[in-house]
Amino acid sequence: MDDLYRENILEHYKHPQNFGELPAATIVHEEHNPLCGDQITLYLLIEDEIIKDVRFRGKGCAISQAAASMLSEELVGRSVEDARTLDKQAVLDLLGIPIGPVRIKCALLVLKALKAGLYGLTDWEDDAW
């Protein structure tokens, strides 16, 4: 079963969904993992409190980039309020494989960008969720 999830992660890594920039974005937020240099910039187009469109740019490991691709697919059509409730477990469920303590920051880099972007924070604390 894990193999299917691993394949899915690799597929998202090689062919990321919603990859690119959104010139009309309402919110643009960049996060990076200082330990490895991985980086994700999330672009959100919000109208009437609904996320209408999403893009991301990034570089880094398969987990961080696949998580960004997967989460981006989940965001379109959600209300801002609903998107704010997405948590660590939601991202781990999307990835579907056990993520150890070393890779957890990889998995959550996109969530950090989302939360910090939606709350307008520049320095979202890792343990704030």
Chain residues in the site for ligand FES (CB under 6 A): 33, 36, 38, 60-61, 63-64, 105-106, 109
Specify which residues 51 forms β-bridges with. Answer: 46
Closer residue to ligand FES (CB): 38 or 53: 38
Nearer to ligand FES, 53 or 115 (CB): 115
Contact 36, 60 (CB under 8 A): yes
Q: Which is nearer to ligand FES, 48 or 127 (CB)?
A: 127
Closest residue to ligand FES: CB criterion? 106
Cβ neighbours of residue 128 closer than 8 Å, sequence gap 6 or more: 115
Q: Least distance to ligand FES from the beta carbon of 33, Å? A: 4
List strands edge to edge, sheet with 50-59.
27-32, 39-47, 50-59
